[in-house]
Amino acid sequence: MANENQNKMKFTDSEFVKNFLAVYTANGGTKTEAEMLNRTVGNNGYTLGQTFTFTGEIEVKENDINGVKQTYIVLPTEEGTELSLMTLMGVSSLKGYDLENPVTIEFKSGTKKDSRTTKSDLIEDFDFGQVWQPKTRNFLELAGMIAEGEINLKGQTATYLGIAVKPITAKKSGESNGEKFDKDYKRAIETRLWSVG
């Protein structure tokens, strides 16, 4: 993993990247050079069935998204990917989730209502019995159990099982992932599911 990190640093020091940053800044780019160098895109996209091996460590990470600092807990893997503990926890039940049909999501497009669909996407022969059910559903208690060695994940694997979608109705107006919506709009919860073992 050390070599991987060294390679990443060399790539971001390349002449191409330096030239891009100079042009970006000259054209009034809104992010600092440090923000651009640390920017990741689409890092939560995994392939169905993709497997990662835990190093046994647990870490606190910070990220700045659109000027908002976020703090989260990750489990590093031998492959170099840091998996979010919260995401790995999944759900205790698929009650209300639709694993078969497209789910409508409504949002505002200017002044009018627009919509799109999303759909559950799970591994072939998916069985909910494969989904990791941690010893506790209390997020910080689980983090503490891992940090103190009560739960030892070193050498265990996490396998990405896919996304399950639950249709909901917005209880109040809001915004999610850049989409604005009003109360009573059709929305969806997309939950990533993992097996651990």
* Whether residues 49 and 13 fall in one domain: no
* Whether residues 7 and 101 fall in one domain: no
* Whether residues 46 and 23 fall in one domain: no
> Residue 132's closest CA among 166, 99, 88, 164?
88
Structure tokens at 120: 């559950």
Distances (CA, A) of 181 to 15, 99, 106: 43, 24, 7
- Domain holding 8, by residue range, is 1-39
* Whether residues 46 and 35 fall in one domain: no
* Whether residues 111 and 129 fall in one domain: yes
Task: Enter the pTM of the model.
Answer: 0.74
* Whether residues 16 and 52 fall in one domain: no
Count of residues in the chain: 197
pLDDT in tens, the chain (197 residues): 444 444 444 577 778 877 788 887 888 776 677 666 655 544 457 899 999 999 999 999 988 777 778 899 999 999 999 999 999 999 999 999 999 999 999 999 988 999 999 999 999 999 999 999 999 999 999 999 999 999 999 999 999 999 999 999 999 999 988 889 999 999 999 999 999 99
Structure tokens at 47: 């392939």
Structure tokens at 140: 């910080």
* Whether residues 94 and 115 fall in one domain: yes
Provide the number of structural domains found in the chain: 2
* Whether residues 7 and 88 fall in one domain: no
SS3 of 33-99: HHHHHCCCCCCCCCCCCCEEEECCCCEEEEEEECCEEEEEEEEEECCCCEEEHHHHCCCCCCCCCEC
* Whether residues 64 and 161 fall in one domain: yes
* Whether residues 18 and 96 fall in one domain: no
